[in-house]
Amino acid sequence: MNILGIEIDTDGQYKSDSYSMFVGSGNAEYNKEFTKTFYINDKIKRLEKVRELSKMYKSHSKQTFIDEDFYSWNKYFKTIELYINACKSSMFFNHSTYDSIKRQLEIEVYCLEIIEKANLIYQNNNFEAINYLIDIQYKTHKNIFDEPKNDLIYRSQYNALIYDIIQLEINKLSNIEAPEIKPQQNEIIKNGLSQKQIALLFKCLFELDVFTKKLINSDNTKQAKLIALMAGIDISEKPNNWNFYKYWNSVQSINDDKQILKKSNLEIVLNIAKTIDFKELEDNIIKKIKELN
C-alpha cells in the first residue's frame, strides 16, 4: 500500500523514526523551530537563529505532554492493557477492505487539503510555505477517522504517517532534503563498546543508583536490548537473555574504574534508553547528567 508517496508495511503499526525523534522527544517545540532553520538560505541569518535557539535549548526543561484524549480510553476498553494492545495493531491491514480503503482516503483527503494550502502560500513565499508545513508536522492531528474509538486507537500512527507525508512535500517545495540528525546510538550500533567498557559503565551506573537490580529484574527484555545496542549486536530480531547474562557476568567481575563514568558515556546510554522506550532509566540518567554538569 502506498499513501501519497509513503509505503505502508503489512507487519503491524505504522512507525516513523523521524516523528518519534523530533515530535515525541520531549523537545518538540525547540525541534520545530530548529528544523525551520534548515531552509533559511542566508547563512548569516541562519546562524543568528541557530544561536538564538541554542540559548533557548540550554535553558529548556524536557517535558512530555500527554494528549488529554488519551484518558478517554476507558470509554471503549475495560483495562488500559487492552487499549495499549489495540494501539499496536495496523490501521489498514487485518481489517475489512472497506475500512482499510476508507481510512486511506480519510488520511489522503486530509493531507491533500494541507498540501493545497501550502502550494497557495508557496506562490507568494517559499519559506513561509515550508514553515506552514513544518508547523503542521508538529501539530497533534485528531478526528481524522470518523469512528471515535478507532480514531483514538490509531491517532499516534496516523500522526506519524502525516508527518512523513508532509516531509515529502517539504522536500518538493525546497528542492532539498532536511539534514538527517542521526541519534548518537547509531554510531554505537555500528561500532559497539567493548565488553569491558560496558561492564565498567554498568558498574558505575549501579553505584550511582541509575541502574538498579530492581529495574533490571522488572524487564529483562529491555535490559537485553540495551546491552545489545551498546555492544553493537544486531537486534533486528528480539534478543534473548543470553545477551543479558553474557555481559551481566562481566559486570560482576570487573573492578571499579571511575574513568568510564563520563557525561558522554551517560549520554550514550540515555540515547539508547530513549530508543527502546526505557523511561525510568532515561529519567534517572538525565538526573545524573545534570548533577555532573
Which residues in 142-152 are b (16+ Cβ under 10 Å) and which e?
Answer: eebbeeeebbb
Is the per-residue pLDDT at 60 higher than 50?
yes
User: Which pLDDT value is given to residue 291?
Assistant: 74
CB 183 within 8 A of CB 21: yes
Q: 165 and 193 share a domain?
A: no
pTM for the predicted model, two decimal places: 0.58
Residues 203 and 254 sit within 8 Å (Cβ to Cβ) = yes
Please check whether residue 163 lies inside any domain of the structure. yes
Average pLDDT, the chain: 74
- Measure CA 170 to chain center: 20
Amino acid at 84: I
Q: What is the pLDDT of residue 120?
A: 92
Confidence band for 221, pLDDT divided at 50, 70 and 90: low
Looking at 174, 200, 225, the residue that finishes a domain is 174
pLDDT category at 276 given cuts 50, 70, 90 is: low
Amino acid in the structure at residue 173 = L
As given in the structure block, the three cell numbers for residue 231 are 555492544
Strand bridging mode 2-3 / 6-7: antiparallel
With a cut of 80, say whether residue 78 has pLDDT above it.
yes
* Among 136, 140, 176, 180, residue whose Cα is nearest residue 157: 140
Q: Which residue has the higher pLDDT, 9 or 143?
A: 143
Model pLDDT, residue 213: 57
**244 domain-assigned:** yes
Residues 24 and 139 in one domain: yes
Write down the pLDDT at residue 110.
96
Which of 158-172, 229-243, 256-270 shows the lowest mean pLDDT across its residues? 229-243
Q: Give mean pLDDT, residues 237-245.
A: 48
Concatenate the DSSP letters of all residues of 35-62 into one string: HHGGG---HHHHHHHHHHHHHHHHTPPP
| Average pLDDT for 7-22 | 82
Residue 170 falls inside a structural domain: yes
Assess contact for 87 and 154: CB atoms under 8 A.
yes
Cell digits of residue 202: 554498568
Q: Which domain holds residue 109?
A: 2-174
Average confidence (pLDDT) over 123-136: 91
Residue with cell 568510564: 260
Residue 245: HSE in the Cβ half-sphere, 13 Å Cα cutoff: 3
pLDDT, residue 239, reads: 46
How many residues are given for the chain? 293
- For 156-195, the pLDDT digits (tens) are 899 999 999 999 999 888 865 554 544 444 444 445 566 6
Percent of the chain with pLDDT over 70: 57
* Same domain, yes or no: 27 and 130: yes
Is residue 219 located within the same domain as residue 165? no
Give the burial class of 35: count Cβ atoms within 10 A of its Cβ; 0-12 exposed, 13-18 middle, 19 or more buried.
buried
> Is 92 in the same domain as 169?
yes
Tell me the residue type at 290.
K
> Do the beta carbons of residue 86 and residue 77 sit within 8 Å?
yes
What is the mean pLDDT of the segment spanning 221-235? 62
Q: In sequence order, what are the residues at sequence separation of 6 or more whose Cβ sits closer than 8 angstroms to the Cβ of residue 160?
A: 14, 15, 16, 19, 20
In a domain, 53, yes or no: yes
User: Does 179 map to a domain?
Assistant: no
Residue ending a domain, among 174, 195, 212, is: 174
Q: How many domains does the chain have?
A: 2
